[in-house]
Structure formats: structure tokens, C-alpha cells
A = this chain, B = another copy of it.
């Protein structure tokens, strides 16, 4: 396995050690986890979330998983099977929330009814339900499987549009605050090629398909653009992301902080929100055609 960013080749054994070391380094340097933390891993059934769960256990942490059923046809069925098989084989606890069963809608039809693009409805639902599960389950921290490619692509999108509020909170560690649990991304030092290889070498069966709703997603275009740069100059993605954290991120915190100050509790579910009713509860109402209309169309939150 060659890792051009590190200008080195690795045998299977040392590649697995590299992955563990990079995750341990990220956790330590960025102060992500304490040994006594109750950890909840957001598990999609894909390579990144299963790899991060496995890596945390390998490094010595205890962690439960949370699988969220999004109702995206066969894709969701297969993803759920992968997540369940991983947990069952290892005797791990997997919490499950099913959007159709528990909230009465699925992403494809819910997004359509709410006139949102699917990736937006999906991201909003995931953030909300992860936060809620962490609060209700008494977890200290939510772990997500975002890798270096993901973070660099999101950063590229935020920079292309100079979304100064998003730039202010694009951090690998978000502290617990205002009712949100702490959130950390231990894979930020690993690329997606590495997390895929990690799963293969560890015999982890994961959902290989891309989500069918993500086709034509701008995020994938940003990844392609950065991949072209990475081929030209290996290490570019790493420098782009970690250079941002070291030298630019703080310049954008004022916007993110002023937004956080203004949060109250959703009158329906109690989640932190800038309005009276949180975006997820409004999505649920539009997606399920609830008979109780609420004030919709709050600026910047649809």
C-alpha cells in the first residue's frame, strides 16, 4: 500500500499500525476523547464509520454505535445489514433509529414534500437524530467517520463561497455547548483510500455503493478537483485542511459564535434552535403533512 502523502509504502501490518497511530495522534493532539468518555459512533455502514468504530476499539476505547435508517430503498437496507453484522460479530451495542418507523417519512419522499434537496434533508435529519440519541442515551461525545477527503472537500466548498459562518465552525472537535453534545472526527488524518484499505485488510464488510441520492452532488465535484491537485502535489489536501486549522480557522470564529449565542429550545422537541420550532420538526411536519402547521420559512433555515 503506497501512501504518496507520506512518500512511503507499507506492508499490511504496518499499514494497520499507521492507521491506528494516525487516529491516536488526532485524538491526542486535538483533545478529542478522554478514557472515561461514553462514546457514540454515528454508523452508516460505509467504510469510514465502520473503520473509525473498529479503530477506536483497537486503540482501547469503548464505544457504542448508532445506525440511522434513512429509508433510501435497497441502499439503506444493505447499509443497515452491514452495520448490524459488524456489531453482532463483535458483540457491540448498536442503537437503531428508523426514520420511516419512528418519524413517519423517508429521505426521498420527505425531501420532496419539504422541497429540500435530499442531501440537505438527510444531513439535517442525521445531525438532529445523532444529537438527540446522544442526549437521551447519556453519551459524552458523538464520533463521526469524516475523513481527510471529506473535510478538505467541505472546506473547499466553504472557501469557494466564502461561507464565513461555516468556516468558523468547520472544526475536527466541536465542544459540548448549548445542548449540543461534543462531536469529534478522529479520521481527519486519513484519506478515503486509506479507510477503504483499512476495512479490506481488517476483513470488514462495508457498503461500497455511493448513496444513490448523492449523484451530481457538488461535494463530489469538489473532491474531484482536489484529487486532481493531490495527484500533481501529494500532501496538498493535508496541507489545505491542517493549514486552515493552524492559520485561518480562528479568523472566522466570531460569526460562528454569534450564531451559537442566539439558540433557544425547540417548542416541540427541546433541541437547540435559533427559532421557535427546530428545522427537523419543521421538516417532519412538511414531510408527513402534519395537520398542525407551524411558522415556516424562517430566513436562512429552510
Residues on A close to B: CB < 8 A?
159-162, 164, 218, 221-222, 224-226, 228-229, 232-233, 236, 239-240, 243-244, 246-248, 251-252
Contact = CB atoms under 8 A, between A and B. Distances in A.
Contacts of A159: 159, 240
A164 B164 CA distance: 16
A239 B248 CA distance: 20
11 contacts: A160-B229, A161-B239, A162-B244, A162-B246, A164-B247, A164-B248, A218-B232, A221-B228, A221-B233, A222-B229, A228-B228
Contact of A228 (B162, B225, B239): B225
A160 B247 contact: no
Contacts of A252: 251
Contacts of A243: 161-162
Contacts of A232: 218, 221
B225 A221 contact: no
B236 A162 contact: no
B224 A228 contact: yes
Nearest to A231: B221
Nearest to A152: B160
Contacts of A218: 232-233
- In order of increasing CB-CB distance, the 7 nearest A-B pairs are A162-B243, A251-B251, A225-B225, A221-B232, A162-B247, A160-B240, A162-B248
A225 B252 CA distance: 25
Residue among A161, A162, A221, A248 with max Cβ neighbours from chain B (10 Å): A162
A250 to B, nearest CB: 10
Given A159-B240, A160-B229, 4 more contacts: A161-B243, A164-B247, A224-B228, A248-B251
A218 B221 CA distance: 20
Contacts of A164: 247-248
A224 B233 CA distance: 14
A252 to B, nearest CB: 7
A119 to B, nearest CB: 15
Contacts of A247: 162, 164
Contacts of A221: 228-229, 232-233
A33 B206 CA distance: 61
A222 B230 CA distance: 11
A167 to B, nearest CB: 8
A4 B27 CA distance: 45
A269 to B, nearest CB: 33
Contacts of A228: 221, 224-225, 228
A232 B224 CA distance: 11
A229 B156 CA distance: 11
Nearest to A159: B159
Nearest to A254: B251
